[in-house]
Amino acid sequence: MQPTELIPQCFRQGAERMARAFGELDQVIVAAHVNPDGDAAGAVAAACHVLRSMGKEIMAYAQPGLPGYLDFFPMPVVVHTTLEHPPFTPRCALLLDCGEPDRLGRELAARLPGLVTVNIDHHLGSDGMGSAANWVEPRAAATAQLMAYVALAAGLPLTGDLATAVALGIITDTGGFCHGNTSADVLYLTAHMVEHGCDIALLRERLENTWSRGRLTLWGQLLQRARLERGGSVCFCPVYLEDLRKCGALKEDLEGFVEQLRRLRGVHVAAVLREDSPGSCKFSLRSYGSVDVRAAAARLGGGGHRNAAGGTVRSPMDAASVHLLDAIAAELDEEGVA
């Protein structure tokens, strides 16, 4: 099979259009959403590989930097956490895995009007905020999957660090090939990369088996605290700043925790509400099947995907808990979920 045959028919035109759009960019800031996860980091890394192969001047930007659990990950460029002293005068920005300017980080959001922008994303409800070109594909499991197709359309082989970047994004956003978005296309693409030397098992091990003692303690305490709401259809856990301090854990140590709450029999929606500051809380929602937590998150100004969504409630913890549980209950009522 020719590598370009790996690009599904429905994504081919978009991938070719993006490869051409990349050709028009230079002095590019490559960025994804704030608090980047594996898909954000993987998509940024893959994009940097592609742009670099085209001889472009590039820099990566992420707020507040990559999480510690990705220290092992081979980023092809330095990740800048501020735009105060860029290595060149940015003219363009490539915006990845992010549906809204607000989630790009304050400095980049403020600079957007002066930049030529291209936007590649897979979030439902994303408008496409690129001024020059947009490719928004909610059918894609990960933005890194779309980046793989752009790389193929640009003539790059999916090997080495580029393949690792794509695999990182796919593993993250499919929950290790388990979520409903694990399409045949995702598996074909991954099989191709494995065939050409990408070590998926090693990547997963580096992602999974790196817990700190603080993280283990935190999860233990929070599992005790999680409680059932709405007759058992919702499992909810609040997390206070004090919890992190006491356990010696970081915010990023909560990554993956909400998925544990969804495992409980009878639970349709798992919800974690994390205190960010005394007047602001970040929530993470998970569901499975047809239960739409993106719609619940949207009631509070958040977003995401049908089975994984999040947002921020600007209230202290007690009030935020009530708002969040009300929004989930209203959504479940509307969807007719018992």
Residue 39 interaction partner, one of Mn ion, ligand 5GP, none, beta carbon < 5-8 Å per kind: Mn ion
Check residue 308 for interaction with ligand 5GP (CB under 6 A): yes
Check residue 66 for interaction with ligand 5GP (CB under 6 A): no
Check residue 38 for interaction with ligand 5GP (CB under 6 A): no
Q: What is the spatial distance between Cα 15 and Cα 273, in angstroms, rounded to a whole number?
A: 37
Check residue 312 for interaction with ligand 5GP (CB under 6 A): yes
For residue 60, give both structure tokens. Answer: 């990566």
- Least distance in angstroms from the C-beta of 243 to ligand 5GP: 17
At which residue do the structure tokens 């005394």 appear? 278
Residue 312 interaction partner, one of Mn ion, ligand 5GP, none, beta carbon < 5-8 Å per kind: ligand 5GP
Nearer to ligand 5GP, 90 or 238 (CB): 238
Q: Whose CA is closest to 37, among 29, 45, 49? A: 45
Nearer to ligand 5GP, 24 or 208 (CB): 208
Which stretches of the chain bind Mn ion, using CB under 5 A? 39, 97, 143, 173
One residue of 11, 302, 313, 327 binding ligand 5GP per CB under 6 A: 302
Check residue 311 for interaction with ligand 5GP (CB under 6 A): yes
**Stretch of residues binding ligand 5GP (CB under 6 A), selected from 77-85, 88-96, 140-148, 310-318:** 310-318
Residue by residue, DSSP assigns 169-217 as: HHHHHTTTTTSTT--HHHHHHHHHHHHTT--HHHHHHHHHS---HHHHH
Check residue 130 for interaction with ligand 5GP (CB under 6 A): no
Nearer to ligand 5GP, 103 or 262 (CB): 103
What lies within 8 Å, CB to CB, of 241 at 6+ separation is 275, 276, 277
Mark out the alpha helices in the chain (DSSP H runs): 9-24, 38-53, 106-111, 143-153, 160-173, 184-195, 200-208, 213-225, 241-247, 257-261, 293-298, 317-335
Check residue 105 for interaction with ligand 5GP (CB under 6 A): no
Please tell me the count of residues contacting ligand 5GP according to CB under 6 A. Answer: 14
- Burial class of 71 by CB neighbour count within 10 A (0 to 12, 13 to 18, 19+): exposed
Residue 305 interaction partner, one of ligand 5GP, Mn ion, none, beta carbon < 5-8 Å per kind: ligand 5GP
Q: Whose CA is closest to 100, among 126, 74, 70? A: 126
Taking CB atoms, the residue at the shortest distance from Mn ion is: 39
Check residue 99 for interaction with ligand 5GP (CB under 6 A): yes
Q: What is the spatial distance between Cα 304 and Cα 262, in angstroms, rounded to a whole number?
A: 17
Check residue 280 for interaction with ligand 5GP (CB under 6 A): no
Q: Residue 277 pairs with which residues in a beta bridge?
A: 280
Q: Count Cα neighbours of 76 within 13 Å in the Cβ-side half-sphere.
A: 22
Point out which residues bind ligand 5GP (CB under 6 A).
33, 99-100, 103, 284, 302-305, 308-312
